[in-house]
C-alpha cells in the first residue's frame, strides 16, 4: 500500500471514529440530562457504536483504542439491571472514557499504548460494572446482540450510497466552477456585442446556444455548491459535553437547547465556527448564567437555559447564542468606557453594547480562568469577520443576552450591485443591500460631523463612498444615489454616483501580502475583463465601531 493510500484510509478511520464517539456521547448525555434509565433500543445502539469502533480500531492496529472500546462495550452489559444509582455512575464513567479517547482523536494523535488517564477511567468503569453485576448475579442477556449482527450483515451487504471526498478536491472543483463562470460571462458579453452589430440568424442561433449552455452550467453550479453545504449540527453537538462539564464546575444548573441543527452552511463557515462559539458559550456560562440561588432570589427558575440556534435568512446564514441569565450591565459598561477614555454620552444602547468587542474591554473586576466579558469577544469578532460575517449583541437586564452571528450563505459566489464612485466601479453584495434610492433635495442632513439620510420614516447614518474609499471627491452633496445597507440590526446609507447593474460575481480573496485594505473585502473579474473591488459591507456598517477601536488602542 502506498503512503497516500494509507493516509486516505487513516483519515477515514479518524473521521468515522470521531463520528461514532460523538453519537455515543450525545446518546449518553441525553440519558443523563433526562435523569432516565437507558432503554433497550438505546443500549443496542450504544453497543453497536462501541462494537464498530472496536472492530475498526483492531483492523487498523490501534489496540489501545480497540481495548478502550471493548471496555466501554462490556460496561453496557451492566446496565438495565434496575439499579438506577449504579447505572448513573456507569453512564458518568462512560462519558469520561469517551472524553479521554475523543481528546486524542481531536488532537490527531492515536496512542499506540493506553495512556495513564485512559487506564484510570477504564479501571473505574470496570469496577463499577463489576459492582452492578454482583448486585444482579443472574445478569441478563446482552441487549440487542442479534440486532447488532443483523445490522452488520445489512450494512456489509448494502451498496455504498455516499463517497468521502477530500476538502481540497471540493475547493478545486469550486475554483474551476468559478473560472468557468467568468469565461461564460465573457463569452456572453462578446456574443451580445456581435449580435448588436450583426443581427443575422447565425448570430441569433449562437446567442440561443450560449444561453442554453448558461442554464446547464447553472444547474451544475448549484450541485457544486450543494456539495459544500454541511449541517451546522456537526459543530453544535460538540458543545453538549462542554456545557455539562463547565456548568457542574461552576455550580450552575443549565439546560442546553439546540435549534436548527439540520440547517446547512458552507463547509468553510462550519469548519471555523467552533472557535467563536467556544468563546461565547464559555462566556455565557461563566458570566451570563446565575447560580441556582441567585436565580431563585430573583424569582427565576433554578435551571437556566442556554440555546444554540441556526437558520437561513434569504442569502444569509445566522447562528445565535442565547442565555436567560442576568444580561449585560450597561451602567458598568459606561463606567468601564470612561476609565478607558471613551466618550459614551448620547450613545444608544446598541452602540454601547458594541464596546464589549473592543480589545481588553472587560467589565469584570476579577480574573476568571474560564472567560471574561470583553476578554475573548474581540477574538470572536475577528474570527467572524474573517469569514465575511458580522456579530451583534443584544441584552436585557435580568432577562439574558443574545449574540447573533451572520454570514454569507456561500463564500464563493454572490449577487452584487455594481456602483460607480468617482469614475470607478465597485461591487456591493446585495445580501446586505436593502434598497438604492435617488437622493432628493432635503433628504441628506448633517448632524455634528456626520451625515444622515432621512430614509422613509427613519434617520439613517450616511457614509460618502468617495471619502471612505479615498477615490477623490468627498462632497456628499454631489452624490446622486444612496445604497441603504442593513445587517445585524444596523443600517447605513452609502452615497454613490450611480447604480449600474446587478450581476453574479465570483469572490476572489485578496493576496495576503496586500493586507486588508479599508472597505475592501475581495475582488472579482467581470465578463468584459475588468477587475472590480468588492466592497466590505460589514466594514461599512461597522465604520463607527472601527473609529472607537482605534481610539481605544491609543488609550490602552
Lowest mean pLDDT, pick from 64-78, 105-119, 202-216, 362-376: 362-376
Domain with 220, as residue range(s), is 167-227
Instruction: Provide the pLDDT for residue 322.
Output: 95
CA distance 555 to 332: 19
Instruction: Provide the pLDDT for residue 145.
Output: 39
- The pLDDT of residue 2 is above 70: no
Same domain flag for 444 and 487: yes
- The pLDDT of residue 462 is above 50: yes
Contact predicate 438/353, CB 8 Å = no
In this prediction, residue 132 has a pLDDT band, given cuts at 50, 70 and 90, of: low
Q: Would you say the pTM of this structure is higher than 0.85?
A: no
- The pLDDT of residue 473 is above 80: no
In this prediction, residue 546 has a pLDDT band, given cuts at 50, 70 and 90, of: very low
Same domain flag for 419 and 349: no
Instruction: Provide the pLDDT for residue 292.
Output: 95
Cα torsion for 220, 224, 227, 228, to the nearest 10°?
-150
544 burial (CB, 10 Å; 0-12 / 13-18 / 19+) is middle
Same domain flag for 254 and 376: yes
Lowest mean pLDDT, pick from 31-45, 87-101, 418-432: 31-45
Maximum Cα interatomic distance, the chain, rounded to a whole number of Å:
94
Instruction: Provide the pLDDT for residue 339.
Output: 84
Domain boundary, last residue among 360, 379, 408: 408
Whether residue 162 lies inside any domain: the answer is no
Order of all β-strands in the sheet with 316-323:
254-259, 304-313, 316-323, 400-408, 390-396
- The pLDDT of residue 315 is above 60: yes
Instruction: Provide the pLDDT for residue 370.
Output: 56
Lowest mean pLDDT, pick from 49-53, 128-132, 185-189, 519-523: 128-132
Contact predicate 289/306, CB 8 Å = yes
Instruction: Provide the pLDDT for residue 139.
Output: 44
Whether residue 290 lies inside any domain: the answer is yes
Tens digit of pLDDT for each residue in 346-405? 777 888 888 888 877 776 655 555 554 444 688 888 788 777 778 889 999 889 999 999
Number of domains in the chain: 4
Tens digit of pLDDT for each residue in 215-259? 888 888 888 878 888 888 888 887 888 898 889 889 999 999 999
Same domain flag for 107 and 199: no
Same domain flag for 87 and 186: no
Same domain flag for 215 and 86: no
Q: What is the mean pLDDT of residues 155-172?
A: 62
Domain boundary, last residue among 157, 189, 210: 157
Q: What is the mean pLDDT of residues 263-285?
A: 87
CA distance 473 to 471: 7
Q: What is the mean pLDDT of residues 118-139?
A: 73
| Residue from 54, 202, 66 nearest 194 by CA | 202
Q: What angle in degrees, to the nearest 10, is found between the helix axes of 40-60 and 3-34?
A: 160
Domain boundary, last residue among 387, 408, 429: 408
Contact predicate 416/428, CB 8 Å = yes
Residue 88 Cα distances to 34, 140, 144, angstroms? 11, 18, 20
Q: What is the mean pLDDT of residues 257-279?
A: 87
In this prediction, residue 297 has a pLDDT band, given cuts at 50, 70 and 90, of: very high
Q: What is the mean pLDDT of residues 68-76?
A: 88
Between 172 and 132, name the one with better pLDDT: 172
Between 547 and 72, name the one with better pLDDT: 72
CA distance 53 to 63: 11
Instruction: Provide the pLDDT for residue 259.
Output: 93
Residue listed under C-alpha cell 430573583: 298
Residue 27 Cα distances to 30, 102, 106, angstroms? 5, 15, 19
Same domain flag for 383 and 243: yes
Same domain flag for 383 and 475: no
Instruction: Provide the pLDDT for residue 547.
Output: 43
Residue 340 grid cell: 478607558
Q: Is 256 helix (H, G, I), strand (E, B) or coil?
A: strand
Whether residue 107 lies inside any domain: the answer is yes
| H helix runs in 35-166, sequence order | 40-60, 63-76, 84-107, 116-135, 145-157
Query: φ and ψ at 322, to 5 degrees?
Result: -125, 140
In this prediction, residue 148 has a pLDDT band, given cuts at 50, 70 and 90, of: very low
CATH number of the domain where residue 286 is located: 3.30.565.10
Same domain flag for 255 and 171: no
Q: Average per-residue pLDDT in the chain?
A: 79
Same domain flag for 457 and 420: yes
CATH number of the domain where residue 123 is located: 1.20.120.160
CATH number of the domain where residue 440 is located: 2.30.30.40
Tens digit of pLDDT for each residue in 50-60? 988 988 888 78
Same domain flag for 273 and 381: yes
| Residue from 191, 228, 240 nearest 211 by CA | 191
Same domain flag for 387 and 427: no
Amino acid at each position: 500500500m502506498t503512503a497516500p493510500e494509507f493516509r486516505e484510509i487513516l483519515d477515514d478511520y479518524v473521521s468515522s471514529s470521531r463520528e461514532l464517539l460523538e453519537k455515543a456521547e450525545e446518546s449518553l448525555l441525553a440519558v443523563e440530562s433526562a435523569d432516565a434509565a437507558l432503554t433497550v433500543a438505546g443500549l443496542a445502539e450504544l453497543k453497536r457504536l462501541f462494537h464498530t469502533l472496536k472492530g475498526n480500531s483492531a483492523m487498523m492496529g490501534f489496540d489501545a483504542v480497540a481495548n478502550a472500546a471493548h471496555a466501554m462495550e462490556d460496561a453496557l452489559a451492566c446496565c438495565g439491571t434496575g439499579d438506577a444509582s449504579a447505572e448513573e455512575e456507569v453512564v458518568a464513567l462512560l462519558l469520561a472514557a469517551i472524553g479521554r479517547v475523543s481528546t486524542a482523536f481531536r488532537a490527531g494523535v492515536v496512542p499506540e499504548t493506553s495512556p495513564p488517564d485512559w487506564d484510570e477511567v477504564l479501571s473505574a468503569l470496570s469496577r463499577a460494572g463489576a459492582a452492578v453485576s454482583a448486585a444482579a448475579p443472574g445478569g441478563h442477556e446482552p441487549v440487542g446482540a442479534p440486532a447488532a449482527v443483523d445490522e452488520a450483515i445489512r450494512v456489509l451487504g448494502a451498496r455504498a450510497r455516499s463517497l468521502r471526498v477530500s476538502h481540497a478536491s471540493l475547493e478545486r472543483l469550486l475554483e474551476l466552477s468559478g473560472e468557468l463562470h467568468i469565461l461564460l460571462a465573457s463569452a456572453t458579453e462578446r456574443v451580445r456585442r456581435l449580435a448588436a452589430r450583426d443581427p443575422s440568424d447565425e448570430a441569433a442561433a449562437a446567442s440561443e446556444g450560449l444561453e442554453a449552455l448558461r442554464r446547464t452550467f447553472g444547474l451544475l453550479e448549484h450541485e457544486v455548491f450543494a456539495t459544500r453545504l454541511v449541517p451546522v449540527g456537526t459543530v453544535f453537538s460538540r458543545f453538549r459535553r462542554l456545557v455539562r462539564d463547565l456548568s457542574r464546575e461552576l455550580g450552575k444548573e443549565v439546560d442546553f437547547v439546540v435549534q436548527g441543527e439540520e440547517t446547512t452552511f458552507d463547509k468553510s463557515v462550519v469548519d471555523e465556527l467552533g472557535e467563536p462559539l467556544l468563546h461565547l458559550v464559555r462566556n455565557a456560562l461563566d458570566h451570563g448564567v446565575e447560580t441556582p440561588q441567585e436565580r431563585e432570589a430573583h424569582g427565576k427558575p433554578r435551571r437556566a437555559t442556554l440555546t444554540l440556534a441556526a437558520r437561513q435568512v434569504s442569502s444569509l446564514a445566522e447562528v445565535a447564542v442565547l442565555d436567560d441569565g442576568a444580561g449585560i450591565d450597561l451602567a458598568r459598561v459606561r463606567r468601564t468606557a470612561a476609565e478607558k477614555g471613551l466618550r459614551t454620552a448620547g450613545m444608544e444602547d446598541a452602540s454601547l453594547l458594541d464596546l464589549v468587542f473592543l480589545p481588553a474591554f472587560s467589565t469584570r473586576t476579577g480574573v476568571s480562568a474560564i472567560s471574561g466579558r470583553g476578554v475573548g469577544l474581540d477574538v470572536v469578532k475577528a474570527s467572524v469577520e474573517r469569514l465575511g460575517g458580522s456579530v451583534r449583541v443584544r441584552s436585557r437586564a435580568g432577562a439574558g443576552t443574545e449574540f447573533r452571528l451572520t454570514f454569507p450563505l456561500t463564500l464563493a459566489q454572490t449577487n452584487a450591485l455594481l456602483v460607480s464612485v468617482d469614475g470607478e466601479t465597485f461591487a456591493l453584495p446585495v445580501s446586505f443591500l436593502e434598497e438604492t434610492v435617488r437622493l432628493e433635495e432635503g433628504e441628506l442632513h448633517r448632524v455634528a460631523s456626520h451625515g444622515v439620510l432621512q430614509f422613509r420614516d427613519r434617520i439613517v447614518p450616511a457614509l460618502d463612498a468617495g471619502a471612505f474609499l479615498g477615490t477623490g471627491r468627498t462632497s456628499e452633496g454631489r452624490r446622486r444615489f444612496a445604497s441603504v445597507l442593513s445587517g445585524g440590526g444596523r443600517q447605513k446609507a452609502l452615497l454613490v454616483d450611480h447604480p449600474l447593474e446587478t450581476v453574479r460575481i465570483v469572490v476572489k480573496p485578496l493576496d495576503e501580502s496586500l493586507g486588508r485594505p479599508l472597505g475592501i473585502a475581495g475582488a472579482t473579474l467581470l465578463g468584459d475583463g475588468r477587475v472590480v473591488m468588492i466592497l466590505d459591507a460589514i466594514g461599512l456598517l461597522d465604520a463607527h465601531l472601527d473609529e472607537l477601536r482605534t481610539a481605544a488602542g491609543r488609550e490602552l
